[in-house]
A and B are shown apart, each in its own frame.
Chain A
Amino acid sequence: MPLQRQVRPGYSRLRGVPATMTAPLHEPTAEAAPSAAEEAAVANAEEKRQAVQGRSLGRIAWERLKRDKLALTGGVIVLVLIAIALLAPVITALVGQDPEVHHEDLIDPLFGTPVGSLGGISGDHLLGVEPVSGRDIFARIVYGARISLLVGFLSAVVAVVLGTILGVLAGFFGGWVDAAISRVMDGLLAFPQLLFIIALVSVMPNELLGLTGTGVRLFVMILVIGFFGWPYIGRVVRGQTLSLREREYVEAARSLGAGRFYILFKELLPNLIAPIIVYTTMMIPTNILTEAALSFLGVGVKPPTASWGQMLSSAIDYYKSDPMYMVIPGVAIFITVLAFNLFGDGVRDALDPKGSR
């Protein structure tokens, strides 16, 4: 047992990968006191000694994640949501509905609300129909998932790319580069992004870079949400880089004559993967909520494109007469954000076993 443990960290270190990634400062302690779960895993795998020795960090994290039921549930829901978003046209075709087709015959002309109980839920319309227009809510929820996830993911990508590059630069070069980037980050963190987007959307042209209508809105939303999101990740990356660049293995690489770019990309970046992944998974649900808020305020996607936030906003006028119309998109947002958060928590715990739960 002790022998194995000594081998593993050493093995990792040769490749510049400390065993615990998110808290390299306490690396020795971490090595000395692996979590009970980890120990059990190691014990289980004892007969496959070779395999154990060759386990990568990702694999360890995966082993831990697999044992976290809540995180797994979240992960499965996330996968299902992604599948729903990707297969939206197929799913709606299967139930025979289209998110943009009106069914006024299902609407009570006096009140504007759907005929039948629970907002017109029926075999044809699984989640009922919208007041006034009679559009199928199930189809709109399914298509709405596309918008939510698209904005959630892509704006996270924008933020991660910007945040990582600028964070590493600030941390690695220090000095005036660090000072400049850090001040920009401070500024952006203090910026009222929601108000900024609302103002921006109202002056936005209808056509931009070959995109029209909803395309323009999505493009701008993704860029802006991503742009205001990068300092969060940038700060973490900068801090990590600051501590990592003084490590012995970096020193060693440097004394062996490694260039700056080699150290940046081969020595530092791999060690930053874990915090980046954690922050990304945490950022996606926040972005989804921001998109919903923007659509709620009427500056999100354009009609007739379906969006959960926009559905929620138009449901306000019918909260008493057709409560289901408000409940359904609300639940959709709730489930999505919860799933991403649970999954994100699990990933963090898996990558950082010392993090208190």
Chain B
Amino acid sequence: MTTQRTSGRRKQALAAAAVVAALLTTAACGGGDDNGGGSKNGAAGFDAANNKVAQASLAKKGGELKFASAQDADSWDTTRGYYGFMWNFSRYYSRQLVTNKTEPGKAGAEIAPDLATGVAKVSDDGKTYTYTLRDGITWEDGKPITSKDVKYGIERSWAQDVLSGGPTYLKEVLDPKDEYEGPYKDKSKDKLGLKAIETPDDKTIVFKLPKANSDFEEMLALTSASPVRQDKDTKSKYGLHPFSSGPYKFESYSPGKNLVLVRNTEWKQSSDPIRKAYPDKISIKFFSNANELDQRLIAGDYDLDLAQTGLSPQGRTTALNEHKENLDNPVSGYIRYAVFPQSVKPFDNEHCRKAVIYGADHVSLQTARGGPQAGGDIGTNMLPPSVPGSEGQDYDPYDLAGANKKGNVEKAKEELKACGKPNGFKTTIAVRNNKPVEVATAESLQASLKKVGITVDIDQFDGSQTTGIIGSPSNVKKKGYGIIIMGWGPDFPSVQGYGLPLWNSDYILESGNNNYALIKDKKIDGLFDDYVNTLDDAEKADIAKEINHKVMEGGYYLPFVFEKFINWRSSRLANVYTTDGYSGQYDFVNLGLKSEK
């Protein structure tokens, strides 16, 4: 017995020793690999792809470009997608009449012809836009893309009852009176009953606007203006397998699991001035855990994050310490802010709103957002840096990045007095519960407002129910949400593409409202009217500036940061650059790999 037991123990000890040894060996191997990589891994360097092209010459044809993401798109249907990364990614399998230039930084937000031979021929009154289609443009089955396909694709935006979710700018501009019922209820034989778009032949398409809009071509550059072929339209299921007009087509897609695109063999490079189509295959793997995703990115298993919203704190620390050369630090085009609904007392009084603006500790808010690099510069006004007319931190009416950056208790108390609440007041902050960073900003605001006598309760609401909770003015009033924490980025880089839903009184909706402050300012509305009629770029920028000033003077918003991200780019990537066309994301469509595998 005794001997047996001893030998048993010895065996155990031996086994344990073996396991430990094995672990040590593998750990050593891992360490060795890391050292072998390090700074010599071929990555372009910190910020090398931020607003400039990194390693363009190293891109080779072939290989599998691997995206990873913690979230799936709202829909891959070109009509329905609204997420920024979906618009960016959709250029792999869809083409538009015009699209964003494939150039870094500001130039990436300009318009270039895609399916069309050139940008629009606009009539003098700004109401007629004419395009001619290129030769050699084809669908994935080899049939040519016609002007009627483009018209049908745009018409789908009218079928909001079936295809909800996407932007509706074109619908509002082309059919402001809501006369057309959409292609599914269309009584005409070819389902092309929309009068504002004419297709005299297969190569020509004419847009007739009831009222001029200086941003109309920007709207046509959105993914929602992609062509869709009638016989391939699977209505609400189209997002599961969109019919490709671009260089890649869907091979497989399991929502929330993975997506694989392969080359569309019918697409011809000669017909496409935009897309380089380097990789043979493009895949997305969806993760449920952001920390795991970051680890896999850093380990080199994937090339980049699809969502392009920056690494989470854990991954950020590791990456900044060990792989700085794989990071870029672009400005996202988003502004993160708090907004004060005027329907909730005492925020009907602008002095009470300004008391909050002055009382907040802006450095603390910036830290809560992630600090100057991962969070962004302190926001001083409401026009994002990528929008023409923006002045960045040069326009700082409340001195938020200057003297008052740590909060100004005296000024805040003065404003409280002017508001008739010298001893402060109580209110509630509404914040999405699924965004830890936003909850952190709410806590920061709560702590600094306590010093001026404003007591706030934080109400965390279900982030997936945003449209019904804070998007409903009556609910906001009922719940007493005096402060709402949100963020907003431009749909297209103009004051209209950014501010119209936020600041125009016409956009106050019963549900899905984004004008949270309930701004009803005739001057602001008037400026937006002027804007759409102005065709000169410099004048447009001036109007944008003026709108921004009016919004800031009203004290409706407390901007936190002009958002920045720290994004990961693998060492395998070539021809990488960020573009303002997609809010500082990498321009997906022309990413290449350094090796063919």
- Considering only residues 235-250 of chain A, those with a C-beta below 8 Å from chain B are none
- B433 touching A104 by the CB < 8 A rule? no
Chain B: minimal CB distance from A317 (Å): 5
Please, which residues of chain A bring their CB within 8 A of the CB of B457?
206, 212-213, 302
**Residue A318 interfacial (CB < 8 Å):** yes
- B479 touching A321 by the CB < 8 A rule? no
- Considering only residues 152-177 of chain A, those with a C-beta below 8 Å from chain B are none
Please, which residues of chain B bring their CB within 8 A of the CB of A108?
371
- Bound CA–CA A102/B444 (angstroms): 7
- Bound CA–CA A134/B444 (angstroms): 10
- Bound CA–CA A320/B312 (angstroms): 12
**Residue A304 interfacial (CB < 8 Å):** yes
Which residue of chain A lies nearest to B373 when distances are taken between CB atoms in the complex? A110
Contact flags (1/0) for B357-387 with A, using CB distance below 8 Å? 0000101101110111110000000000000
- Bound CA–CA A109/B367 (angstroms): 6
**Residue A107 interfacial (CB < 8 Å):** yes
- B371 touching A133 by the CB < 8 A rule? no
- B318 touching A320 by the CB < 8 A rule? yes
Please, which residues of chain A bring their CB within 8 A of the CB of B443?
133, 303-304
Please, which residues of chain B bring their CB within 8 A of the CB of A107?
367, 371
**Residue B436 interfacial (CB < 8 Å):** yes
- Bound CA–CA A202/B457 (angstroms): 16
A133 with B440: in contact, given A112-B374, A317-B291 (CB under 8 Å)? yes
- B428 touching A206 by the CB < 8 A rule? yes
- Considering only residues 461-516 of chain B, those with a C-beta below 8 Å from chain A are 462, 479
Which residue of chain A lies nearest to B317 when distances are taken between CB atoms in the complex? A321
Which residue of chain B lies nearest to A202 when distances are taken between CB atoms in the complex? B462
**Residue A131 interfacial (CB < 8 Å):** yes
- A321 touching B313 by the CB < 8 A rule? yes
* One of A102, A112, A316, A321 near B364 (C-beta < 8 A): A102
- B373 touching A131 by the CB < 8 A rule? no
Please, which residues of chain B bring their CB within 8 A of the CB of A112?
313, 367, 370-371, 374
Please, which residues of chain A bring their CB within 8 A of the CB of B442?
303
Chain B: minimal CB distance from A332 (Å): 21
**Residue A41 interfacial (CB < 8 Å):** no
**Residue B281 interfacial (CB < 8 Å):** no
Please, which residues of chain A bring their CB within 8 A of the CB of B439?
303
Which residue of chain A lies nearest to B367 when distances are taken between CB atoms in the complex? A104
- A320 touching B367 by the CB < 8 A rule? no
Please, which residues of chain A bring their CB within 8 A of the CB of B317?
111, 113, 320-321
Please, which residues of chain B bring their CB within 8 A of the CB of A131?
313
- B361 touching A102 by the CB < 8 A rule? yes
A109 with B371: in contact, given A298-B460, A314-B436 (CB under 8 Å)? yes
Chain A: minimal CB distance from B309 (Å): 15
- Considering only residues 295-316 of chain A, those with a C-beta below 8 Å from chain B are 298, 302-304, 314, 316
- Bound CA–CA A302/B368 (angstroms): 18
Which residue of chain B lies nearest to A313 when distances are taken between CB atoms in the complex? B436
Contact flags (1/0) for B427-468 with A, using CB distance below 8 Å? 010000100100110111011101000000111101000000
- B436 touching A319 by the CB < 8 A rule? no
Please, which residues of chain A bring their CB within 8 A of the CB of B364?
102, 104, 133
Chain A: minimal CB distance from B260 (Å): 31
Which residue of chain B lies nearest to A302 when distances are taken between CB atoms in the complex? B458
- Bound CA–CA A111/B316 (angstroms): 7
| Secondary structure type dominating chain A contacts | loop
A111 with B363: in contact, given A302-B457, A302-B460, A303-B446 (CB under 8 Å)? no
Please, which residues of chain B bring their CB within 8 A of the CB of A109?
366-367, 371-373
A321 with B367: in contact, given A206-B479, A302-B457, A303-B439 (CB under 8 Å)? no
Chain A: minimal CB distance from B227 (Å): 43
* One of A100, A202, A318, A321 near B447 (C-beta < 8 A): A100
**Residue A132 interfacial (CB < 8 Å):** yes
* One of B291, B368, B371, B433 near A298 (C-beta < 8 A): B433
**Residue A101 interfacial (CB < 8 Å):** yes
- Bound CA–CA A308/B547 (angstroms): 47
Which residue of chain B lies nearest to A206 when distances are taken between CB atoms in the complex? B459
Please, which residues of chain B bring their CB within 8 A of the CB of A100?
447, 450
**Residue B314 interfacial (CB < 8 Å):** yes
- Bound CA–CA A302/B444 (angstroms): 14
- Considering only residues 311-367 of chain B, those with a C-beta below 8 Å from chain A are 312-314, 316-318, 320, 361, 363-364, 366-367
* One of A111, A314, A320 near B320 (C-beta < 8 A): A111
A317 with B314: in contact, given A102-B447, A111-B320 (CB under 8 Å)? yes
- Bound CA–CA A314/B436 (angstroms): 8
Chain B: minimal CB distance from A205 (Å): 9
A101 with B373: in contact, given A107-B367, A132-B367, A132-B368 (CB under 8 Å)? no
Please, which residues of chain B bring their CB within 8 A of the CB of A101?
447
Chain B: minimal CB distance from A214 (Å): 9
Chain B: minimal CB distance from A158 (Å): 26
Please, which residues of chain A bring their CB within 8 A of the CB of B371?
107-112
Chain B: minimal CB distance from A315 (Å): 11
- Considering only residues 121-144 of chain A, those with a C-beta below 8 Å from chain B are 131-134
A104 with B462: in contact, given A206-B457, A304-B447, A320-B317 (CB under 8 Å)? no
- B436 touching A317 by the CB < 8 A rule? yes
Which residue of chain B lies nearest to A103 when distances are taken between CB atoms in the complex? B364
Contact flags (1/0) for A77-114 with B, using CB distance below 8 Å? 00000000000000000000000111010011111110
Chain A: minimal CB distance from B54 (Å): 22
Chain B: minimal CB distance from A89 (Å): 16
Contact flags (1/0) for A312-353 with B, using CB distance below 8 Å? 001011111100000000000000000000000000000000
Chain A: minimal CB distance from B438 (Å): 11
Instruction: Give chain A's interface residues, CB within 8 Å of chain B.
Output: 100-102, 104, 107-113, 131-134, 202, 206, 212-213, 298, 302-304, 314, 316-321
Known: A102-B444, A303-B439, A304-B458. 10 other contacts (CB 8 A): A107-B367, A109-B373, A111-B313, A111-B320, A112-B313, A132-B440, A133-B443, A303-B442, A304-B447, A320-B317
Instruction: Please provide the 5 A-B residue pairs with the shortest distance between their CB atoms, ordered closest to farther.
Output: A109-B371, A321-B317, A213-B457, A317-B313, A104-B367
* Interchain Cβ contacts under 8 Å between A and B, 27 examples: A100-B450, A102-B361, A102-B448, A104-B363, A104-B367, A109-B367, A109-B372, A110-B371, A110-B373, A111-B316, A111-B317, A112-B370, A112-B371, A133-B367, A133-B368, A134-B367, A206-B428, A206-B479, A302-B457, A302-B459, A302-B460, A303-B446, A304-B443, A304-B458, A317-B436, A318-B314, A321-B318
